[in-house]
Chain A
Amino acid sequence: MNDMLAVFAQWIATSEARELANWLLSNTPGLPPILQTIHLLSIAAVMGSIVFINLRVLGLAARRQQVGEMIGRLMPWTWFALPTLFISGLPFILARPARYFTNPVFQIKFSLLLPAILLAVLFYRLSLRETNYWTSSEHRLITGKIIAAGSLFLWLSIVMAGRWIAYSDYLFWPG
Protein backbone atom coordinates (compact mmCIF):
# COMPACT_ATOMS: atom_id res chain seq x y z
CA MET A 1 0.00 0.00 0.00
CA ASN A 2 2.74 2.43 0.97
CA ASP A 3 4.67 1.56 -2.19
CA MET A 4 1.60 2.29 -4.28
CA LEU A 5 1.08 5.61 -2.54
CA ALA A 6 4.76 6.47 -3.01
CA VAL A 7 4.44 5.76 -6.74
CA PHE A 8 1.32 7.91 -6.88
CA ALA A 9 3.09 10.71 -4.99
CA GLN A 10 6.00 10.44 -7.43
CA TRP A 11 3.58 10.66 -10.36
CA ILE A 12 2.11 13.90 -8.95
CA ALA A 13 5.59 15.19 -8.15
CA THR A 14 6.55 15.06 -11.82
CA SER A 15 3.24 16.42 -13.10
CA GLU A 16 2.38 19.91 -14.27
CA ALA A 17 -0.29 20.14 -11.57
CA ARG A 18 2.51 20.20 -9.03
CA GLU A 19 4.34 22.95 -10.84
CA LEU A 20 1.16 25.00 -10.99
CA ALA A 21 0.34 24.47 -7.30
CA ASN A 22 3.92 25.31 -6.33
CA TRP A 23 3.95 28.42 -8.46
CA LEU A 24 0.60 29.63 -7.12
CA LEU A 25 1.50 29.00 -3.47
CA SER A 26 4.84 30.75 -3.69
CA ASN A 27 3.89 33.64 -6.01
CA THR A 28 0.43 34.67 -4.82
CA PRO A 29 0.91 36.91 -1.77
CA GLY A 30 -0.90 35.43 1.23
CA LEU A 31 -2.34 32.46 -0.64
CA PRO A 32 -1.22 29.78 1.86
CA PRO A 33 -2.82 31.44 4.94
CA ILE A 34 -5.91 32.43 2.91
CA LEU A 35 -6.44 28.84 1.72
CA GLN A 36 -5.83 27.58 5.26
CA THR A 37 -8.41 30.05 6.60
CA ILE A 38 -10.95 28.80 4.04
CA HIS A 39 -10.09 25.30 5.25
CA LEU A 40 -10.64 26.39 8.89
CA LEU A 41 -13.94 28.14 8.09
CA SER A 42 -15.13 24.97 6.36
CA ILE A 43 -14.16 22.96 9.44
CA ALA A 44 -16.22 25.50 11.44
CA ALA A 45 -19.16 24.68 9.14
CA VAL A 46 -18.62 20.97 9.88
CA MET A 47 -18.55 21.80 13.61
CA GLY A 48 -21.73 23.86 13.28
CA SER A 49 -23.55 21.11 11.39
CA ILE A 50 -22.66 17.41 11.77
CA VAL A 51 -20.69 17.85 15.02
CA PHE A 52 -23.46 19.91 16.62
CA ILE A 53 -26.07 17.40 15.46
CA ASN A 54 -24.00 14.64 17.07
CA LEU A 55 -23.83 16.60 20.32
CA ARG A 56 -27.60 17.17 20.12
CA VAL A 57 -28.33 13.47 19.61
CA LEU A 58 -26.11 12.68 22.59
CA GLY A 59 -28.14 15.18 24.64
CA LEU A 60 -25.17 17.47 25.21
CA ALA A 61 -26.17 20.53 23.19
CA ALA A 62 -28.99 22.48 21.57
CA ARG A 63 -31.76 20.85 23.59
CA ARG A 64 -34.21 23.55 22.48
CA GLN A 65 -33.92 22.33 18.87
CA GLN A 66 -35.48 19.18 17.39
CA VAL A 67 -33.12 16.50 16.03
CA GLY A 68 -35.04 15.91 12.80
CA GLU A 69 -35.37 19.63 12.08
CA MET A 70 -31.67 20.19 12.82
CA ILE A 71 -30.57 17.42 10.46
CA GLY A 72 -32.65 18.83 7.61
CA ARG A 73 -31.51 22.39 8.24
CA LEU A 74 -27.83 21.84 9.02
CA MET A 75 -26.59 18.86 6.99
CA PRO A 76 -26.45 20.86 3.71
CA TRP A 77 -23.66 22.83 5.43
CA THR A 78 -21.68 19.61 5.84
CA TRP A 79 -22.23 18.68 2.19
CA PHE A 80 -21.11 22.15 1.14
CA ALA A 81 -18.10 22.15 3.47
CA LEU A 82 -16.64 18.84 2.27
CA PRO A 83 -15.86 19.92 -1.34
CA THR A 84 -14.62 23.28 -0.01
CA LEU A 85 -12.26 21.43 2.34
CA PHE A 86 -11.06 19.28 -0.54
CA ILE A 87 -10.40 22.24 -2.82
CA SER A 88 -8.67 24.36 -0.15
CA GLY A 89 -6.46 21.44 0.90
CA LEU A 90 -5.60 20.14 -2.56
CA PRO A 91 -2.97 22.75 -3.59
CA PHE A 92 -0.83 21.85 -0.55
CA ILE A 93 -0.97 18.15 -1.41
CA LEU A 94 -0.16 18.79 -5.06
CA ALA A 95 2.76 21.04 -4.16
CA ARG A 96 4.41 18.53 -1.80
CA PRO A 97 2.94 15.08 -2.52
CA ALA A 98 5.70 13.13 -0.77
CA ARG A 99 5.07 15.05 2.46
CA TYR A 100 1.47 13.81 2.50
CA PHE A 101 0.91 10.47 0.79
CA THR A 102 3.58 8.57 2.71
CA ASN A 103 2.81 10.41 5.94
CA PRO A 104 1.15 8.02 8.45
CA VAL A 105 -0.94 10.79 10.05
CA PHE A 106 -2.25 11.86 6.64
CA GLN A 107 -3.14 8.23 5.91
CA ILE A 108 -4.96 7.98 9.24
CA LYS A 109 -6.83 11.23 8.55
CA PHE A 110 -8.18 9.96 5.25
CA SER A 111 -8.92 6.49 6.61
CA LEU A 112 -11.10 8.12 9.26
CA LEU A 113 -12.76 10.41 6.72
CA LEU A 114 -14.40 7.54 4.84
CA PRO A 115 -16.37 6.08 7.78
CA ALA A 116 -17.16 9.62 9.01
CA ILE A 117 -18.79 10.52 5.68
CA LEU A 118 -20.59 7.16 5.48
CA LEU A 119 -22.09 7.66 8.96
CA ALA A 120 -23.14 11.21 8.05
CA VAL A 121 -24.82 10.00 4.84
CA LEU A 122 -26.61 7.20 6.70
CA PHE A 123 -27.79 9.62 9.37
CA TYR A 124 -29.01 12.10 6.78
CA ARG A 125 -30.69 9.65 4.40
CA LEU A 126 -32.80 7.97 7.09
CA SER A 127 -33.86 11.34 8.49
CA LEU A 128 -34.73 12.53 4.99
CA ARG A 129 -37.04 9.56 4.56
CA GLU A 130 -38.74 10.21 7.89
CA THR A 131 -38.08 13.52 9.68
CA ASN A 132 -38.34 12.07 13.18
CA TYR A 133 -36.57 8.84 12.28
CA TRP A 134 -33.95 9.10 15.03
CA THR A 135 -36.38 9.98 17.82
CA SER A 136 -39.35 7.76 16.96
CA SER A 137 -38.45 4.74 19.09
CA GLU A 138 -36.25 3.77 22.01
CA HIS A 139 -34.27 1.43 19.79
CA ARG A 140 -33.56 4.13 17.20
CA LEU A 141 -32.68 6.60 19.95
CA ILE A 142 -29.95 4.26 21.22
CA THR A 143 -28.70 3.42 17.71
CA GLY A 144 -28.59 7.16 17.01
CA LYS A 145 -26.53 7.82 20.13
CA ILE A 146 -24.02 5.10 19.21
CA ILE A 147 -23.66 6.49 15.69
CA ALA A 148 -23.40 10.06 17.04
CA ALA A 149 -20.65 9.08 19.49
CA GLY A 150 -18.70 7.33 16.71
CA SER A 151 -19.22 10.21 14.31
CA LEU A 152 -18.16 12.79 16.91
CA PHE A 153 -15.00 10.84 17.67
CA LEU A 154 -14.19 10.50 13.95
CA TRP A 155 -14.67 14.18 13.06
CA LEU A 156 -12.68 15.49 16.04
CA SER A 157 -9.89 12.99 15.28
CA ILE A 158 -9.86 14.08 11.63
CA VAL A 159 -9.54 17.75 12.61
CA MET A 160 -6.75 16.98 15.08
CA ALA A 161 -4.98 14.66 12.65
CA GLY A 162 -4.94 17.49 10.11
CA ARG A 163 -2.78 19.53 12.45
CA TRP A 164 -0.59 16.54 13.40
CA ILE A 165 0.42 15.88 9.77
CA ALA A 166 3.16 18.44 10.26
CA TYR A 167 4.37 16.68 13.40
CA SER A 168 4.12 13.01 12.44
CA ASP A 169 7.76 12.48 13.48
CA TYR A 170 6.69 12.79 17.12
CA LEU A 171 4.41 9.78 16.66
CA PHE A 172 6.09 7.76 13.95
CA TRP A 173 9.80 8.23 14.07
CA PRO A 174 11.04 7.45 10.55
CA GLY A 175 13.17 4.39 11.11
Chain B
Amino acid sequence: MLNDFWLSLEYLPLAEHIGGTWWFPLLESLHVVSITLVMGAILMLDLRLMGVAARSNPITDMVRDLVPWAIAAFVIAVITGLGLFVTRASAHMTNPAFQWKLVLIALAGLNMAVFHFRIYRKVWQWDMASTIPIQARIAGAGSLFLWTGVMLSGRWVGHII
Protein backbone atom coordinates (compact mmCIF):
# COMPACT_ATOMS: atom_id res chain seq x y z
CA MET B 1 0.00 0.00 0.00
CA LEU B 2 2.85 2.31 0.91
CA ASN B 3 4.47 1.24 -2.32
CA ASP B 4 1.39 2.48 -4.17
CA PHE B 5 1.97 5.86 -2.60
CA TRP B 6 5.61 6.01 -3.76
CA LEU B 7 4.50 4.86 -7.18
CA SER B 8 1.77 7.52 -7.34
CA LEU B 9 4.44 10.18 -6.71
CA GLU B 10 6.19 9.13 -9.90
CA TYR B 11 3.03 9.92 -11.89
CA LEU B 12 2.71 13.46 -10.57
CA PRO B 13 2.88 15.90 -13.49
CA LEU B 14 5.87 17.58 -11.85
CA ALA B 15 7.72 14.27 -11.43
CA GLU B 16 7.08 13.33 -15.04
CA HIS B 17 8.23 16.73 -16.17
CA ILE B 18 11.48 16.54 -14.19
CA GLY B 19 12.19 12.99 -15.34
CA GLY B 20 11.59 13.71 -19.00
CA THR B 21 13.35 17.03 -19.51
CA TRP B 22 16.55 18.95 -18.80
CA TRP B 23 15.11 19.69 -15.37
CA PHE B 24 16.63 16.43 -14.13
CA PRO B 25 20.27 17.27 -14.91
CA LEU B 26 19.68 20.86 -13.75
CA LEU B 27 18.38 19.69 -10.35
CA GLU B 28 21.11 17.06 -10.15
CA SER B 29 23.88 19.60 -10.79
CA LEU B 30 22.36 21.99 -8.22
CA HIS B 31 22.19 19.04 -5.82
CA VAL B 32 25.94 18.48 -6.32
CA VAL B 33 26.72 22.17 -5.73
CA SER B 34 24.61 22.26 -2.57
CA ILE B 35 25.86 18.99 -1.02
CA THR B 36 29.50 19.93 -1.63
CA LEU B 37 28.81 23.33 -0.04
CA VAL B 38 27.23 21.60 2.98
CA MET B 39 30.19 19.27 3.17
CA GLY B 40 32.70 22.10 2.71
CA ALA B 41 31.23 24.12 5.59
CA ILE B 42 30.87 21.06 7.83
CA LEU B 43 34.38 19.87 6.98
CA MET B 44 35.91 23.15 8.16
CA LEU B 45 33.89 23.09 11.36
CA ASP B 46 34.57 19.42 12.13
CA LEU B 47 38.31 19.78 11.60
CA ARG B 48 38.28 22.78 13.93
CA LEU B 49 36.38 20.78 16.55
CA MET B 50 38.82 17.89 16.17
CA GLY B 51 41.67 20.34 16.75
CA VAL B 52 43.17 19.57 13.35
CA ALA B 53 42.73 22.92 11.57
CA ALA B 54 42.14 26.64 12.25
CA ARG B 55 43.32 26.21 15.84
CA SER B 56 43.76 29.94 16.41
CA ASN B 57 40.21 30.78 15.32
CA PRO B 58 37.55 30.87 18.08
CA ILE B 59 35.12 27.98 17.71
CA THR B 60 32.12 30.27 18.29
CA ASP B 61 33.20 32.44 15.33
CA MET B 62 33.51 29.39 13.09
CA VAL B 63 30.08 28.14 14.17
CA ARG B 64 28.45 31.52 13.50
CA ASP B 65 30.20 31.88 10.13
CA LEU B 66 29.65 28.37 8.84
CA VAL B 67 26.45 26.90 10.29
CA PRO B 68 24.08 29.30 8.43
CA TRP B 69 25.75 28.32 5.15
CA ALA B 70 25.58 24.62 5.98
CA ILE B 71 21.87 24.93 6.82
CA ALA B 72 20.98 27.03 3.75
CA ALA B 73 22.87 24.68 1.43
CA PHE B 74 21.26 21.67 3.14
CA VAL B 75 17.79 23.10 2.50
CA ILE B 76 18.62 23.49 -1.22
CA ALA B 77 20.03 19.96 -1.23
CA VAL B 78 16.77 18.62 0.26
CA ILE B 79 14.57 20.52 -2.21
CA THR B 80 16.61 19.46 -5.26
CA GLY B 81 16.93 15.96 -3.79
CA LEU B 82 13.14 15.63 -3.45
CA GLY B 83 12.81 16.71 -7.08
CA LEU B 84 15.14 13.90 -8.14
CA PHE B 85 13.52 11.42 -5.71
CA VAL B 86 9.96 11.76 -7.02
CA THR B 87 11.00 10.74 -10.54
CA ARG B 88 11.77 7.21 -9.23
CA ALA B 89 10.31 7.25 -5.71
CA SER B 90 9.29 3.57 -5.49
CA ALA B 91 12.63 2.29 -6.80
CA HIS B 92 14.55 4.57 -4.42
CA MET B 93 12.59 3.41 -1.38
CA THR B 94 13.62 -0.20 -1.99
CA ASN B 95 17.20 0.73 -2.94
CA PRO B 96 19.51 -0.33 -0.06
CA ALA B 97 21.93 2.52 -0.80
CA PHE B 98 19.09 5.03 -0.53
CA GLN B 99 17.89 3.45 2.73
CA TRP B 100 21.43 3.70 4.10
CA LYS B 101 21.57 7.31 3.03
CA LEU B 102 18.40 8.17 4.98
CA VAL B 103 19.65 6.35 8.11
CA LEU B 104 23.02 8.11 7.92
CA ILE B 105 21.38 11.55 7.48
CA ALA B 106 19.23 10.83 10.56
CA LEU B 107 22.33 9.81 12.56
CA ALA B 108 24.24 12.89 11.38
CA GLY B 109 21.27 15.03 12.48
CA LEU B 110 21.22 13.29 15.86
CA ASN B 111 24.96 13.86 16.27
CA MET B 112 24.44 17.52 15.44
CA ALA B 113 21.58 17.83 17.97
CA VAL B 114 23.64 16.24 20.75
CA PHE B 115 26.53 18.55 19.94
CA HIS B 116 24.41 21.66 19.78
CA PHE B 117 22.18 21.10 22.80
CA ARG B 118 24.66 19.40 25.11
CA ILE B 119 28.33 19.82 24.25
CA TYR B 120 28.18 23.30 22.71
CA ARG B 121 26.32 24.70 25.74
CA LYS B 122 29.59 24.97 27.62
CA VAL B 123 31.64 26.24 24.67
CA TRP B 124 32.69 29.36 26.62
CA GLN B 125 34.92 27.09 28.68
CA TRP B 126 36.92 25.86 25.69
CA ASP B 127 36.26 28.37 22.87
CA MET B 128 39.95 29.19 22.52
CA ALA B 129 41.41 26.43 24.69
CA SER B 130 44.40 24.49 23.39
CA THR B 131 42.70 21.21 24.28
CA ILE B 132 39.16 20.65 23.12
CA PRO B 133 36.98 18.33 25.26
CA ILE B 134 36.90 14.78 24.03
CA GLN B 135 33.10 14.89 23.54
CA ALA B 136 33.44 17.81 21.11
CA ARG B 137 36.24 16.06 19.24
CA ILE B 138 34.19 12.87 18.97
CA ALA B 139 31.18 14.87 17.70
CA GLY B 140 33.43 16.46 15.05
CA ALA B 141 34.92 13.15 13.95
CA GLY B 142 31.52 11.46 14.02
CA SER B 143 30.02 14.20 11.88
CA LEU B 144 32.80 13.88 9.31
CA PHE B 145 32.38 10.10 9.21
CA LEU B 146 28.58 10.20 8.94
CA TRP B 147 28.42 12.90 6.24
CA THR B 148 31.06 11.08 4.20
CA GLY B 149 28.83 8.03 4.52
CA VAL B 150 25.84 10.06 3.32
CA MET B 151 27.83 11.09 0.26
CA LEU B 152 29.07 7.60 -0.50
CA SER B 153 25.63 6.01 -0.14
CA GLY B 154 24.06 8.83 -2.16
CA ARG B 155 26.52 8.25 -4.96
CA TRP B 156 25.95 4.51 -4.66
CA VAL B 157 22.20 4.95 -5.29
CA GLY B 158 22.84 5.57 -8.97
CA HIS B 159 24.93 2.44 -9.34
CA ILE B 160 22.20 0.12 -8.06
CA ILE B 161 19.25 1.25 -10.16
Residues of A within 8 A of B (CB): 30, 32-34, 36-37, 40-41, 43-49, 51-52, 61-65, 73, 156, 159-164, 166-167, 170-171
Contact digits for B141-161, partner A, Cβ 8 Å, 1 yes 0 no:
000000010011001101100
Interface membership of B4, Cβ < 8 A: no
Q: Is the CB of A36 within 8 A of B61?
A: no
Q: Does B32 contact A (CB under 8 A)?
A: yes
CA distance A36 to B57 in the complex (A): 32
Which residue on A lies nearest to B60, using beta carbons?
A: A64
Dominant SS among interface residues on chain A: helix
Name the contact of B32 in the complex, choosing from A32, A34, A40, A49 (C-beta under 8 A). A40
- Within 8 Å CB of A65, what residues of B? 57, 61, 65
Which candidate, B9-17, B22-30, B109-117, is the interface stretch facing chain A? Answer: B22-30
Query: Is the Cβ of B25 less than 8 Å from the Cβ of A33?
Result: no
Contact in complex: A40, B40 (CB < 8 Å): no
Contact check: which of A37, A52, A166 meets B40 at CB < 8 Å? A52
Look across to chain B and name the residue whose beta carbon is closest to the beta carbon of A48: B40
6 residue pairs from A and B, CB less than 8 Å apart:
A33-B159, A44-B43, A51-B40, A162-B29, A164-B29, A167-B22
Q: Cα distance A64–B35 when bound, in Å?
A: 24
In the complex, are the beta carbons of A61 and B39 less than 8 A apart?
A: no
**B119, CB-defined interface residue at 8 Å:** no
B43–A40 CB distance below 8 A: no
Q: Does B138 contact A (CB under 8 A)?
A: no
* In contact, A167 and B37 (Cβ under 8 angstroms): no
Residues on A with beta carbons closer than 8 Å to the beta carbon of B32: 40, 43, 159-160, 162-163
Chain A neighbourhood of B57, CB < 8 A: 65
Of chain A, the residue at the smallest CB distance from B157 is A33
Cross-chain contact of B159 among A32, A167, A171 (Cβ < 8 A): A32
B5 to chain A, nearest CB (A): 28
The minimal Cβ–Cβ distance linking A77 to chain B, given in whole angstroms, is 9
| CB-nearest residue of chain A to B144 | A41
Say yes or no: B37 contacts A47, CB within 8 Å: yes
Specify which of B39, B66, B152 is in contact with A34 (CB 8 Å cutoff): B152
B29 near A43 with CB under 8 A, answer no
Q: Closest residue of chain B to A56, judged by CB? A: B65
Interchain CB contact under 8 A, A64 and B61: yes
Complex Cα distance A162/B28, Å?
11
For residue A163, which residues in chain B have a CB less than 8 angstroms away from its CB?
A: 25, 28-29, 32
